[in-house]
Structure 1
Amino acid sequence: MALTLYYHPLASYCWKALIALYEGGVDFTPRLVDLGKAEDRAALQALWPPCRFPVLHDGARGRVLPESTVLIEHLAQHEPGAAPLLPADAQLRLDVRLWDRVCDDQLQDPMQKIVGDRLRDAAVRDPHGVAEARAALQNAYALFEQQLAGRTWLASEGFSLADCAALPALFYAAILEPIPAGHAALHAYFERLLLRPAVQRVLQEAKPWLALFPYREAVPARFL
């Protein structure tokens, strides 16, 4: 099989890539990477020296695609069966790319700051930085609530790259910093995301690994 995805089923950016792959029914070989194993780390580093996943190896085209957004755009360009996750209209395509970046910058970054802090030794934790990250998530929720008013999907009429980015970001962020009850549009949007078969497949595959999540005690029972 020409496409090989180097990934981990607990990693949020890997979820983003997997949702896109599953949405389009794209054939690929999954290669789970355990960074605690020297051979796995070496294999990933040989493809992409920063040693971060996901990484897609397209053997047919001799391409290595790191970064989930670039990976998904590559699929859209070269895989005939890939889901149409980028609109044909240039302006709508910019809107989708914008909200993809918002998901990564405004949700993923502060979420990962909070998770990373818990993994530190107590003596070097950063409570001020964590408080700032939690505030950033609340600001992001308000922004999403405004954007989603009257919308089914985040940035276009159909499910898009932006929605692939939103699901993993919201899933983990909401565990750490719950979405306020008053954000009805955002809550409804998250529930719509959860109904996508591609999303359900990703969550099912991640379920055995959620016990390793640093905030596993806060994971809602319906996902365990």
Structure 2
Amino acid sequence: MTLALYGHPFSSYTWKARIALLAAELDHEFLILDADHPEHAQAVRFAGPQGKFPVLRDGENLLFEATSIIEYLSVHHAPADMLVPSDPDAAIGIRMMDRVFDNYVMGPMQDVVNEYLRDGDNPDTVRVAEARARLERSYAWLEGWLHFYPEMDYVTLIECAAAPSLFYADWVHPIPEALPRLREWRARLLSLPAVRTCVEEARPYRAGFPLGAPDRD
């Protein structure tokens, strides 16, 4: 049975799971949540306690949470040692960086976005400034980390997490020119075929981004 991913093209966490599917060249349906497909939303509500996407369907199995979906694909469908290495110590490092991108890049980026979604004309400037400061700390740390991270010729859980988080974070709070490794790595991530597919699928929805619809990337 064909794998199916429920999500939305503009969703960063949908990207995260879809990048893994595309990079591993796994046949799957992409089932978009929108007003024309209420049955897709029903499946997502059934899968997890908060009814959040993405959700992966594999036969009778329903998986939610993007990291868990990628772990599942690594065990059951993707080429061996691709998304998550079998070596336990290497896998720990991969998983640690996955949390860095979700919690310390995606998290503060989303805090800024949420303030503008709450009240675009009157966001809480203190909360926005605090979130931007957290992003700056994460950017600076990643610049140093990249000195040791080898350029990969395949996609791992790290790239799946990093590409969408850095894509949107740079819109919210641009990566400074003083961090050339991080800026270059973001550009390299966005050049990956699996990531480019997600970028293009999301393009029609950019006008909904509360901080504007950037015409770059």
Common fold by TM > 0.5: yes
SS at structure 2 position matched to 1:93: helix
Secondary structure of 2:118's counterpart equals coil
1:92-103 maps to which residues of 2 (within 5 A)?
Answer: 92-103=90-101
In the TM superposition, residue 36 of structure 1 has moved relative to its aligned partner by 10
Task: Give the Cα separation in 1 of the matches to 2:45 and 2:133.
Answer: 35
Tell me the TM-score normalised to structure 2 length: 0.91
Query: Taking structure 1 as reference, are residues 81 and 122 closer, same or farther at Cα in structure 2, changes over 3 Å only?
Result: closer
* CA distance 1:3–1:38, shift in 2 (3 Å): closer
| Residue 162 in structure 1 maps to residue 175 in structure 2 | no
Structure 1 residue 211 and structure 2 residue 207: aligned? yes
Q: Structure 1 residues 157, 28: closer, same or farther in 2, change over 3 A?
A: closer
CA distance in 1, matches of 2:127, 2:16: 26
Inter-partner Cα distance in structure 1 for 2:117 and 2:36:
15
* Partner of residue 139, structure 1: 137
Secondary structure at the counterpart of residue 119 of structure 1: helix
Q: How many residues align?
A: 217
Per mean C-alpha deviation after superposition, the further-off stretch among 81-90 and 13-22 is 81-90
* Deviation of the 1:158 alpha carbon: 5.2
Q: Which runs of 4+ in 1 moved over 4 A?
A: 35-40, 80-83
| Counterpart position of 1:119 | 117
Aligned-partner Cα distance in 2 for 1:222–1:152: 27
Q: Aligned residue for 1:27?
A: 27
**Cα pair 1:23 1:82 within 8 Å, conserved:** no
Partner of 1:173: 169
Structure 2 portions without partners, runs of 5+: none
Normalising to structure 1: TM-score of the pair?
0.88
Specify the SS of the correspondent of 1:31.
Answer: strand
- For 2:26 and 2:80, locate their aligned partners in 1 and report how far apart those are by CA, in whole Å: 6
Q: Letter of the 1:186 partner, please give it.
A: L
- TM-aligned CA deviation for residue 76 of structure 1: 0.8
In the alignment, what sits opposite 1:65?
Answer: 63
What is the identity, as a one-letter code, of the residue corresponding to 2:25? Answer: G
Counterpart for residue 49 of structure 1: 49
C-alpha deviation, 1:152, in angstroms: 3.6
TM-fit CA distance, 1:39? 5.1
Unaligned runs of 5+ in 1: none
RMSD: 2.2
**Contact 1:23–1:83 under 8 Å retained in 2:** no
Are 2:120 and 2:210, in contact at CA under 8 Å, matched by a contact in 1? Answer: no
1:118 and 1:125 in contact (8 A); partners too: yes
Q: Render the CA deviation track for 1:80-126: whole Å, top value 9, x for unaligned.
A: 55881112222111110000000000001111111111111368742
> Does the CA contact (< 8 Å) of 1:111 and 1:172 recur in 2?
yes
Over 3 Å counting, the alpha-carbon distance change for 1:157 and 1:199 in structure 2 is closer
Question: How far is the alpha carbon of 1:159 from its aligned partner?
Answer: 3.3
Shift of 1:38: 5.8
